Amino acid sequence: MSIKDNLLRIQENIENALIKSGRKDDVNLIAVTKTVNVDTINDAISLGVNNIGENKVQEIQKKYDNIYDKVNWHMIGHLQSNKVKYIIDNVDLIHSLDRISLAKEINKRAKAKEKIKDVLIQVNISEEKSKFGLKKEEVLPFIERVLEMENINIKGLMTMAPYAEDPEKIRYVFRDLRNLGYKIEDRNYKNIEMKYFSMGMTNDYEIAIEEGANMIRVGTALFGKRTY
């Protein structure tokens, strides 16, 4: 299958999931380009991809200047505080804010550039040990601390579901994240918008969309199996 065919199929699946759930809004497809070379990424962009997601700072640095079109860059992986300075200018949305020390560093670096950085809070709904993210009950107190940081805008939530042969088994992960979003909206915090729910990957994006995902992060279904 070509990237073009893959992209068409994903777009069709997105449409069907939206129809199935009676939604009239849009889903942002983030093409996860980790391990994918720049020529292939540029091909995907020429086919209409305009959001790309990487999980390593080093890979963003390596690729950034070789992606010619204006696209939105998403940092979707675990972010070490000492590397924030390398991506603060390049990345449009950080999906993986999960601790105060990182928030402080992002705030500091954004402030130095006179920018306001958009972030999502990563939540570990399934509480898998191997995954990063705050526990559900930690999110509200966390937000109240980040609220004081003027150069950070919280734009929503992100989660990664465990791998499941049958993705129906992990539907609750997406539902819980969306419900947490409603709970945060109810607080009417200033400067906090529950605009994006970044959830769903190759194996489970349709179910995530049915549960309210409006950003899905898809790698394998678009580019094929990764070779590390």
Ligand X SMILES: *Cc1c(COP(=O)(O)O)cnc(C)c1O
**Which residues would be at the binding site for ligand X (CB under 6 A)?**
32, 34, 55, 76-77, 160, 201-203, 217-221
Residues, the chain: 228
Instruction: List the Cα angle 198/216/105 in 5-degree steps.
Output: 40
Minimum CB separation of residue 210 from ligand X in Å reads: 17
β partners of residue 49 = none
CB of 88 or CB of 120, closer to ligand X: 120
Minimum CB separation of residue 151 from ligand X in Å reads: 24
Residue 139's SS3 state is helix
Residues 164 and 168: their CA atoms lie apart, in Å, by 8
CB of 151 or CB of 162, closer to ligand X: 162
> DSSP letters of 81-95?
GGGHHHHTTT-SEEE
CB of 194 or CB of 218, closer to ligand X: 218
Q: Which of 89, 94, 81, 96 is nearest to 112 (CA)?
A: 89
CB of 123 or CB of 221, closer to ligand X: 221
Cα-based distances in Å from 92 to 29, 63, 75, 110, 145 = 15, 15, 8, 12, 22
Minimum CB separation of residue 201 from ligand X in Å reads: 4
Using Cβ positions, the residue closest to ligand X within the complex turns out to be 219
CB of 111 or CB of 131, closer to ligand X: 131
Minimum CB separation of residue 183 from ligand X in Å reads: 23
Minimum CB separation of residue 91 from ligand X in Å reads: 14
Token look-up 């449409």 returns 15
